[in-house]
Amino acid sequence: MSKRPNYLAAARAVADAADIVLTTHINSDADGIGTSLALAIALERLGKRVRFACPSKPASIYAFLPRFGMAQTVDNDAAAAAMAPCDLLISSDCGDLKRLGACAAIRHGKLLNLDHHATNDRFGHLNLVDEQGTCSGMVAAKLLDKLDVAIDREIADNLYATLVFDTGRFMHSNTDAAAFRFAAKLADAGVDVSAINRALTYTKKPHDLAITRLGIERLTVDAQEPRLAGIAITRADIAAVGEPEDWGELVDVPRSLAGNQVAYLFREGKDGQTTRMSMRSNPPFQVSPVAQAFGGGGHLQAAGATFPGSLADCLREVIPRLRRQLQD
């Protein structure tokens, strides 16, 4: 299977479809939501019937995005079965089919997998996976160019949110000249860049700060490898404080330590049988191999997975792997 992104084939699939459903991954973020909303606005202007289905409730922090209200939560098989079938299902920013949750069961003719992650397993009938894209929003913008859709203010606002989020406000290693050129193009379309940065940063609620405090209290610097630090949160911790709407950037707390090269956030599931892992690193160190070892994926320096065991099991199994990433 060719890994070269075929934008013309993707554009033909969109042009041939009358009814399109957009979706993204479970616990969707600004890249998945912003990409889907940008596409939704553009495709409506092409005369398509468009719906946006999320496999989990999108966090209210993203409510400022244009057309956010069109998102509908489809988080179980019954909800998926109740949706009318579509000609084309477009998945944005999702690396594998299981991360679409119940939305994978929405009846569709073809599935277009639009993404930029190197770990994407090409699960679509059509795979528009451009690993050179800084974010999925950039891939969507190239597709819109092939469809001759101009990027106006509403589309640009959504696309700029994808760029800000996936570059970590232009601090991550994927921030390159192409990212800045894309930002300039969106600014030329009228984006208020400071307003979107504020909306993604300065909208915390008291409960969000309580989660941050818990993270700081659980912060650990590895005794064997001080360049490794992280936060491990038990299900009892989460029950005591309350599940946040979005875990956001808690992994950046250990990452902010001077000298840190690899950071992690491990969250134990309610049943104690799974643990959600979010991991970050600075070049040249990589965390995606660790995520892939447990069926996850993402970027070389930003990846995640679900560990099949308790938090204690996760720490015992994964911490040595992260140490080896630093030593190798």
247: domain CATH number is: 3.10.310.30
Identify the domain boundary among 184, 201, 218. Answer: 201
Indicate if 214 and 167 belong to the same structural domain: no
- With the C-alpha atoms ordered 113, 64, 146, 117, is the resulting torsion angle positive or negative? negative
CA distances from 216 to 228, 233, 317 (A): 15, 11, 23
What CA–CA distance (Å, rounded) separates 139 from 161? 14
pLDDT of 125 > 70? The answer is yes
Residues 219, 215: Cα–Cα separation, whole Å: 6
Where residue 299 falls among pLDDT bands split at 50, 70, 90? confident
- Do residues 232 and 195 share a domain? no
One-letter amino acid of 13:
A
Please give the DSSP secondary-structure letter assigned to residue 170: T
Instruction: Give the span between the Cα atoms of 119 and 304, in whole angstroms.
Output: 11
pLDDT at site 247 = 85
The pLDDT of residue 145 = 97
Question: What pLDDT is recorded for position 74?
Answer: 98
Q: Are 165 and 70 within one domain?
A: yes
Model confidence at 173, in pLDDT bands (50, 70, 90)?
confident
Confidence band of 204 (pLDDT split at 50, 70, 90): confident
pTM of the full structure? 0.92
Q: Tell me: do 171 and 243 sit in the same domain.
A: no
- Same domain assignment for residues 227 and 84: no
Q: Does 2 fall in a domain? A: no
34 domain residue, yes or no: yes
Residues 225 and 154 in one domain: no
pLDDT number for residue 203: 87
- Determine the average pLDDT of the residues in 306-318: 97
Domain carrying residue 53:
7-201
pLDDT of residue 99 exceeding 90, the answer is yes
Shared domain for 171 and 64, answered yes or no, is yes
**Closest Cα to residue 311, out of 226, 232, 204?**
232
pLDDT in the model for residue 2:
56
Quote the longest CA-to-CA distance of the chain.
Answer: 59
Residue at a domain's end among 201, 221, 256: 201
Instruction: Name the domain boundary from 182, 201, 220.
Output: 201
Do 91 and 168 fall into the same domain? yes
Judge whether 92 lies within some domain: yes
Strands (E), 160-298: 219-221, 228-233, 262-268, 275-281, 297-298
Rounded to 5°, the CA angle 184-116-73 comes to 95
Across 82-107, average pLDDT: 97
Q: Is the pLDDT of residue 1 over 70?
A: no
Domain count, the chain: 2
* Amino acid sitting at position 100: L
Q: What is the CATH number of the domain that holds 140?
A: 3.90.1640.10
Residues β-bridged to residue 49: 19
Whether 27 and 133 share a structural domain: yes
Q: Place 32 in a pLDDT band, splitting at 50, 70 and 90.
A: very high
Domain contains 48? yes
The reply to whether 122 and 221 lie within a common domain is no
Mean of all residue pLDDT scores within the chain: 95
Query: Is residue 222 located within the same domain as residue 186?
Result: no
- Residues 135 and 216 both lie in one domain: no
pLDDT per residue as tens digits for the range 220-274: 999 999 999 999 999 999 999 998 888 878 999 999 999 999 999 999 999 999 9
All residues at 6 or more sequence positions from 217 whose CB lies less than 8 Å from its CB, including other chains? none
Judged by DSSP in three states, 204 sits in coil
